[in-house]
Copies of this chain bind each other. A is one copy, B any other.
Amino acid sequence: MSTPDTATSKSPAGIRDVAALAQVSTGTVSNTINRPDTVHPRTRAAVEKAIAELGFVPNQQARVLTGASSNVIGLVVLDIESPFYMEAAHVIERTVRESGHVVMLCNSEGDTTRESGLLAMLAAQRVRGVLLAPASLDEDADPYKDLPGDLPVVLLDYNGGPEHCSISVDNVAGGRLAIEHLLQLGHTRIAVVGGPTGLRQFADRAQGAREAIIAAGMDPEVSLIEVSTSGIGIQDGRRAAELLLEGDSPDAVFCGNDMLAFGVYRGLIDAGLSVPEDVALVGYDDIDFARDWVVPLTSVRQPIDKLGTRAARLLIEHSAREDSHTHRQEVLPPELVVRRSTDLRAPAQH
């Protein structure tokens, strides 16, 4: 409106338009943009003026087509609303930005069909590579065997074996950590609210819980009450709590993630119990909310920062030297963050 847009208001200016206006060749324009030091200052100024005048924006598509590698990185998560994945996305976005890349965020919604559709789309898009938090959790068959083209992929939060790069957190160790903490505090009837059977991460955490009980010389059949839920949200936790309170109440509850823990908390409060006096509560993930919850939540922290940065860097590296690349699997250790939901003496802030 205010800028009269001197010339073409039809289609966005191309490099040839710029070349014509600046009275140089297209090669020179290209050089001005990509190798400014190889072009004479006077010429450069003229070209830059023309670029500004036309509002010329180089077409990235065309650029990639000629061999330049794309600066887009795909990120496929299985739940775009889960705080855990969002924090991860944030870290990844930041890391990736430092090297001039951008993230294309996609949501598989835990659906393997959608997931492979997205992978195909990202391959068609010729993205630089993909960070994939897999929806498919079949252990036997490797579902990522035949990826479209030779799309570089790094699995996120899931160890897919030696055929893939991956960064994951040791979920079994995490489960163990939680239970060891509760045992140390003297709890003997511990409930485990693990998400849906079939989600590997959650199964592993429950497995760790069992191992810890056994290592302490106790019988899981007696001291461990396992409950599975259909989802991994607050409501699911709440229902789990109701279920637990029907039988012999546990004196501690370990939840497969923080959202479940929040739900369990509500269920306990509604039943007139208090945390941690009557029941101790441990979550998993240590999302931001855990620290700020009414009763700050003890939680097994996944090192999201490391997870995200490592994964992003690994992918960029991987996609840089396409061949002669050996897949690498990194497994990070989780860490227990003790707060008041298990220990009243814990500082109010952390």
Contact = CB atoms under 8 A, between A and B. Distances in A.
A266 interface: yes
A125 B80 contact: no
A86 B81 contact: yes
Contact of A80 (B93, B121, B292): B93
Contact of A55 (B58, B149, B289): B149
Nearest to A163: B1
A216 B3 CA distance: 47
A60 interface: yes
A291 to B, nearest CB: 8
B65 A62 contact: yes
A105 interface: yes
A105 B81 CA distance: 13
Q: How many copies does the complex hold?
A: 2
Contacts of A86: 80-81, 86
A172 B87 CA distance: 31
Nearest to A270: B348
A271 interface: no
B1 A145 contact: yes
Nearest to A291: B234
A262 interface: yes
Contacts of A238: 292
Among A61, A93, A107, A120, max chain B CB count under 10 A is at A61
Nearest to A5: B150
Contacts of A145: 1-3
Interface in A28-80: 55, 57-62, 64-65, 70, 72, 80
A21 interface: no
Contacts of A270: 348
Given A1-B163, A65-B65, A269 B294 contact: yes
A107 B62 CA distance: 25
Interface in A118-159: 118, 120-121, 123-126, 145-146, 148-150
Contacts of A125: 60-61, 72
A70 B238 CA distance: 44
A183 interface: no
A64 B93 CA distance: 25
B61 A262 contact: no
Nearest to A295: B294
Interface string A209-244: 000000000000000000000000011001000000
A4 B243 CA distance: 52
Interface of A: 1-3, 12, 55, 57-62, 64-65, 70, 72, 80-81, 83, 86-87, 89-90, 93, 102-107, 118, 120-121, 123-126, 145-146, 148-150, 163, 234-235, 238, 262-263, 265-266, 269-270, 288-289, 292, 294, 348
5 contacts: A58-B124, A59-B126, A86-B86, A102-B118, A104-B105
